[in-house]
Amino acid sequence: MRTKGYFGEFGGSFVPDVIQVQLDKLTEAYDYYKRDEIFQQEFRDLLKNYAGRPSMLYFAENMSRDLGGARIYLKREDLNHTGAHKINNVLGQALLAKRMGKTRLIAETGAGQHGVATATAAALLGMECEVFMGAEDIRRQAVNVYRMQLLGAKVTSVVTGTATLKDAVDQAFAEWVRRDDDTFYLLGSAVGPAPYPEMVRDFQKVISEEALEQIKAAEGKMPNEVIACIGGGSNAIGMFHAFVPYPEVRLVGCEAAGKGISSGQHAASFTAGKVGIIHGMKTYFCQTETGGIADVYSISAGLDYPGVGPEHAYLKDSGRAEYVPVTDSEAVAAFHYIAKTEGIICAIESAHALAYAMKEAPKRSKEEILIVCLSGRGDKDVAEIMGMN
């Protein structure tokens, strides 16, 4: 049974009434435009002509040979305009906002990557943009703040609470309610109350739709395993979606184990979390002893989120997908390895998926195929990794 806005028992919409009013309008608009051929065509045109899709499915021959097992393919989301998969989602939501008659996009951001993506879409579509960011994060991410400003966005410092992401989320919701007439809240991952998880999935599913066609053309068969890193889960759900109906394709999500699960310093929602309500949805998240949201940690800002999208919770509990922890040090080793073997500097987030593939490939025969989602490029991470040496 599938109730609207739910994936099995997960998802839903656990928000105050004033926000539910907004969500209902959004749901109505999205239900309409997802079936609107002109809207879908315009979205596809932007993906092609602006984001640069389709992204390549690249056979990593050097890595495959060196690891001595399965053939490894990389889905190159790092080659998209702005350097990651996030552009797919922001273009979709910004286009929907315009159709709804909105002139202003708001977003919250932690490390700044989603803020930069949202500011990009706003600039392209001629919309106003305001990004809420914790004062502490603004200090740590000065270059991304400047990028957003270059793109014409206003960055608003949030000084309440711990002055980080969760406070920025609260402020963005408050602003959405306050300026309902012209403002659209653009969410950055497949998380939050309905309809966001499903809508973001729909804007990201192009990743697997392309990959399915590309692997059939290259190999004439299905992959054995599809692998992606998980923060909120948008690149992973985009990478999984078209393969879900094929049970012979194993789906594996790699979550951030940080300094190790037992250290308590991680962001592994499935490995170490429990089911509850977080950010308006029912899903797994990292909890304190009293059921609150735990402080989480990962070397990668994009995976440093306490929860995970509800569709992943459903895929896990139904046994269709598996989720594994990958530590900082495994990810850093993979980051170095792919740079040397393939000449690709990938995002430290994506390196989590790659680290798992490096363990998995040697166990499999040379006829088998793994596809890894390379969710982004690593220019943003070079300075930090350099500092570790």
Ligand X SMILES: *Cc1c(COP(=O)(O)O)cnc(C)c1O
Assigned token pair, 307: 């929860």
From 234, 349, 375, 380, active-site residue: 375
How far, in Å, CA of 333 to CA of 89, rounded?
29
Interface with ligand X includes 134 (CB under 6 A)?
no
Q: Please, what is the minimum distance in Å from the beta carbon of residue 302 to ligand X?
A: 3
Residue 263 annotated as catalytic: no
Least distance CB 331 / ligand X (angstroms): 11
* 371 near ligand X (CB under 6 A): no
The DSSP letter of residue 129 is: E
* Among the residue ranges 42-50, 139-147, 233-241, 318-326, the one whose residues contact ligand X (CB under 6 A): 233-241
The one catalytic residue in 13, 75, 108, 208 is: 108
Please confirm, yes or no, whether 375 is among the known catalytic residues. yes
Angle between helices 113-125 and 86-99 (to 10 degrees): 40
CA-to-CA distance for 337 and 354, rounded, in angstroms? 9
Using the rule CB under 6 A, is 350 a contact of ligand X?
A: yes
Q: How many helices (H) and strands (E) does the chain have?
A: 16, 14
- How far CA 161 is from CA of 164, 166, 175, 278, in Å, comes to 8, 9, 17, 17
* Minimum separation from the CB atom of position 368 to ligand X (A): 25
Looking at the Cβ atoms of 118 and 189, the one nearer to ligand X is 189
Nearer to ligand X, 74 or 347 (CB): 347
CA–CA distance, 270 with 101 (Å, rounded to integer): 39
Beta bridge partners of 323: 253
With CB under 6 A as the contact rule, the residue among 258, 302, 306, 310 that binds ligand X is 302
3-state secondary structure of 259: coil
Q: Is 376 in the site for ligand X (CB under 6 A)?
A: yes
In the list 234, 269, 298, 327, the residue contacting ligand X (rule: CB under 6 A) is: 234
Which of 227, 375, 381, 385 is close enough to bind ligand X by CB under 6 A? 375
Whole-number Å distance between alpha carbons of 180 and 17: 14
Residue 62 exposure: Cα atoms within 13 Å on the Cβ side = 8
342 is catalytic: no
The dihedral built from the CA positions of residue 88, 347, 257 and 165, taken in this order, carries a sign that is negative
Q: Does 316 bind ligand X (CB under 6 A)?
A: no
> Is position 113 an interface residue for ligand X (rule: CB under 6 A)?
yes
Assess 326 for contact with ligand X (CB under 6 A).
Answer: no
> CA 9 from chain center: how many Å?
22
Going residue by residue from 186 to 215, which x/- string records binding to ligand X, judged by CB under 6 A? ---x--------------------------
> For binding to ligand X (CB under 6 A), which residues are involved?
84, 86, 113, 189, 229-236, 302-303, 347, 349-350, 375-376
**Residues with catalytic roles:** 86, 108, 375
